[in-house]
Amino acid sequence: MSFNNLDTLYRQVIMDHYKNPRNKGVLEDGSLTVNMNNPTCGDRIQLTMNVEDGIVTESRFDGEGCSISMSSASMMTQAIKGKKIEEALKLSKIFSDMMQGKEYDEDDSIDLGDIEALQGVAKFPARIKCATLAWKAMEKGLNEDNQE
C-alpha cells in the first residue's frame, strides 16, 4: 500500500473514532476517576476505570477536545479493556515511544490495532500532548491504584 493510501486510511480511522467514539461516558461506579486537561489547547478528559484483581475490566472517557485527543481516548479505552495493569502500562510506554518518534518495542503479545493510526502525530510536536492526554490519565490512575 502506498504512503498516501496508508495516510488516508489512518486519517479515516482517526475520524471514525472521533465521530463514533467507543466507550464514551462515565462509569458511575468507577473505582478510578482521573481528570486531566491540556491547558495549551483546551483538551480535557475524565477517565473512569474499573480494576478488579489487577485487570482493567471497564474503561470510559468523557470530555472535549480536538479529533486527535478524543480519538486517542477512544482507542485507548478499547485497547486496555481486559488487560492486566502491567500490560496497560506497557502499552502506554509503547504509545509514548511511538509519539516521540522513537523505535518502540513491538511486543508480539500486544496488538496496537487502531492505535497505529496515530503514529503520524509524531511529525507534529504540538499535537503530541493531544494524543497522549488520555494515556497520561490512564497511567496516573493505574499507578495510583497500584500504590494502595
pLDDT in tens, the chain (148 residues): 555 777 888 899 999 999 999 999 999 887 899 999 998 889 999 999 999 999 999 999 999 999 999 999 999 999 999 999 999 999 999 999 999 988 776 666 677 889 999 999 999 999 999 999 999 999 999 998 766 5
What sign does the CA torsion over 52, 58, 61, 62 have?
Answer: negative
One-letter identity of residue 145: D
Four-point Cα dihedral 120, 125, 126, 130, nearest 10: 50
Q: How far is CA 41 from the centre of its chain?
A: 18
